[in-house]
Structure 1
Amino acid sequence: MENNNTISTLLVANAYGPADVLTFQDFDLGELRNGYARIKTKTAGINPIDARRMTGEFKHSGLPQTFGTEFSGEILAIGENSQGFKIGDAVLGSGDGFTHASVIDVPIGNLIRKPENISWEVAGSVAGVSQTAMTILDEIGDIKSLLIHGASGGVGSITVQLAKERGITVIGTASKRKLEYMESLGAIAVEYGDGLIERIKAAHPEAIDAAVDMIGTEEATQASLATVKPDGVIATIAGKPVSSKRVIPIWVKRNPKNLQFVVDGLASGKFQWEIDSVFPFDKAKDAFSKILEGHTKGKLLLQF
């Protein structure tokens, strides 16, 4: 086993606050553990939860914080039980605590091979949102119609397509400038804002089987309560407090088979993937500031 490149530059926050709290820190990864691969990161997706952890709005660990859950890169070193992977392989997957770093150690079971016809940018932004989308649909169960609030973001975009592939009618809310994009993915697109409930009912007069909120607004909660069947599931992935006990949280379940399904669909052209912006790693503060603004179309990511 080769074991080089032990020094990694991590994105770190030693306090809660805006993007100015972010700093870079060199860290010695040490000896590679069995069952792990050491990856030279090429790209890593940024998700809204990363920014909300930075500000302290969402806390699930203490300080200092590291960030990132998805990546693409090349294997620098690999431990025993390599599962057929080797040094030099191009891979993507979910991290093990952080991926916003120049070199990361990742459980081998989290890896899948990067198809040649998928860019590093797409590969590095797909794992978290794809597995979240598959978790949503698996947990909501057998439905015929689904309301998605915030449908133009990373998770929303692939959830729309996966739902359509299952034969589900999707009503997606988004800002006015993203309605055409939503329609291109196969959703019935509805502009959010004043009058949302009436517009949803006009677009889909029948009561909707289920809803999922990806942005965490009271408007989304009330619109779901008003348009979803009394026994229908209303879920949220936003991780924010909700005003109704009927709204249940859904947390991502990591499943490489689900990720492989989405990646295969991207490689074949069955699914679309939208990259909003790519930031060099040394401009991570700008990237986190942008994602805090909201209104992204697809994914933001860091490039190393």
Structure 2
Amino acid sequence: MKAVVLEKFGSADDLRVVDLPEPKVAPGEVLIRVKAAGVNPVDWKLAAGYLDPIMETGFPLIPGWDVAGVVERVGLDSPEFAVGDEVYGYARKDWAQNGTYAELVSANVRMLAKKPSSATWEQAAGVPLAGLTAYQAIKRAGVTEGDTVLVHAAAGGVGSFGVQIAVALGARVIGTASERNHDFLRSLGAEPVSYGEGLADRVRALAPEGVDAALDFVGSEEAVETSFALAGRADRVVSIAGGRAQELGGHVIWVRPDAADLATLAELVDAGKMTIHVDKTLPLEQAAEAWRLSATGRTRGKIVLTV
């Protein structure tokens, strides 16, 4: 099978397309013929060695954890799926090596759900990591109907899902973004504010009593400090970065594979309550270009590789 690999820690310049043996399919797993693979900043951060202190990494490394495709083979004791099922998932194993930037990938059934029937392959591949991060952050923050929620980086891959999920729950959402993305946020149901100096004052102009919950999908000091300044309770602040957020009593989230959560996201998509904005699609062979685009931090929505 064709796959994108790194032979050692490196950057986009070190990615190569090679032929590799088909993955083995363990009990509780299925083999997926990949149609599309989502690109996330963690992919190139992992490749650069940023996660080496906390995660085992093997080489040659196939990057990627987001996948959408068709079940080609079913492993022992894997009754959840059958050959021909269209699935999507967050295929993050206990160590990083055999990722989704490939024609075939094996994944445990706990990482997968049926693909949203109304979504294209590219759209489905853009959901798992970002959508699960948003959904699990919202659950951790205890967001319910009637809450006012502040979402940082609301126009990004995670943030745009967070906005829509919170709105679907009946919450009022205030989202931070650059001015060029304000109309986009309005289309998702959020009230936009520009980030930068004076952010807390701009949010208070919309919500004088502060917010009920804050979701930090940036990890910057400004986002963390503003979240705690505006939220009524520290335990209703959730951040994707550690350090200061944890010190102040908030939650730090590292997304987990979860089949039930993926099924819920698929239901939201098929019900028309969550749209998937794919900013750019590129063929597998152009994974390096996809990483360069991702590293700019200026994409709206998702970047996806087609296989």
What TM-score does the superposition give when structure 2 sets the normalisation length? 0.88
**Match for residue 76 of structure 1 among 59, 72, 79:** 72
Report the CA distance shift for 1:88/1:206 in structure 2 as closer, same or farther (over 3 A): same
Please point out which of 224, 239, 245 is paired with 1:236: 239
Please give the alpha-carbon distance, in whole angstroms, between the structure 2 residues aligned to 1:81 and 1:220.
45
Structure 1 residues 50 and 242: alpha-carbon distance in aligned structure 2, compared to 1, 3 A threshold: farther
* Aligned mates of 1:128, 1:271 — CA distance in 2: 15
Equivalent residues in 2 for 1:96-115 (5 A)? Answer: 96-97=92-93, 98-115=99-116
Change (3 A) 1:88 1:10: same
Q: Distance in 2 between matches of 1:254 and 1:171?
A: 28
Is 1:22–2:49 an aligned residue pair? Answer: no
What is the aligned partner in structure 2 of residue 43 from structure 1? 36
What does residue range 228-267 of structure 1 map to in structure 2 within 5 Å? 228-237=231-240, 239=241, 241-242=243-244, 245-246=247-248, 247-267=250-270
Taking the TM superposition and a 5 Å limit, the aligned residue runs for 1:1-304 are 8-29=1-22, 31-59=24-52, 60-62=55-57, 64=59, 65-83=61-79, 85-97=81-93, 98-142=99-143, 144-237=147-240, 239=241, 241-242=243-244, 245-246=247-248, 247-304=250-307
| 1:62 Cα deviation after fit | 3.6
**Using a 3 Å threshold, how does the CA distance of structure 1 residues 243 and 79 change in structure 2: closer, same or farther?**
closer
1:4 maps to: none
**Can you give the 5+ residue segments of structure 1 that lack an aligned partner in the other structure?**
1-7
Distance 2:58 2:83 in 1: 34
> Does the 8 A contact of 2:118 with 2:269 survive in 1?
no
TM-superposed CA distance for 1:108, in Å, is 2.8
Asked whether the equivalents of residues 39 and 304 of structure 2 are also in contact (C-alpha less than 8 Å), the reply is: yes
Unaligned runs of 5+ in 2: 94-98
CA contact (8 A) 1:130 1:258 kept: no
- 1:230 Cα shift? 4.9
Q: Secondary structure at the match of 2:212?
A: strand
Inter-CA distance 33–58: structure 2 relative to 1 (3 Å threshold): closer
The change in CA–CA distance for 1:276 and 1:84 in structure 2 (over 3 A counts) is: same
Deviations 1:148-189 (A, max 9, x none): 111111111111111112222211101111111111111111
Amino acid across the alignment from 2:141: I
The alpha-carbon distance between structure 1 residues 300 and 240, as it changes in their structure 2 partners (threshold 3 A), is: farther
For the residue of structure 2 that corresponds to 1:208, the secondary structure is: coil
| Change in 2 beyond 3 A, CA 1:115/1:186 | closer
Cross-structure match for 2:96? none
Deviates more, 1:184-193 or 1:101-110: 101-110
Asked whether the 8 Å contact 1:190–1:203 carries over to 2, the reply is: no
| CA root-mean-square deviation | 2.1
Deviations 1:104-161 (A, max 9, x none): 0111343322344321111112122222222111111155122111111111111111
Residue 151 of structure 1 contacts residue 172 of structure 1 at CA under 8 Å; is this kept in 2? yes
Contact 2:287/2:305 (<8 A) preserved: yes
Deviations 1:42-80 (A, max 9, x none): 001111211222233343334534321221111221123
| TM-score in terms of structure 1 length | 0.89
Partners of 2:109 and 2:245 in 1: how far apart?
41
**C-alpha separation in 1, matches of 2:276 and 2:228:** 30
Gap change, CA 1:242 and 1:293, over 3 Å in 2 = farther
Sequence identity of aligned pairs in percent?
A: 32
Q: Which moved more, 1:171-180 or 1:212-221?
A: 212-221
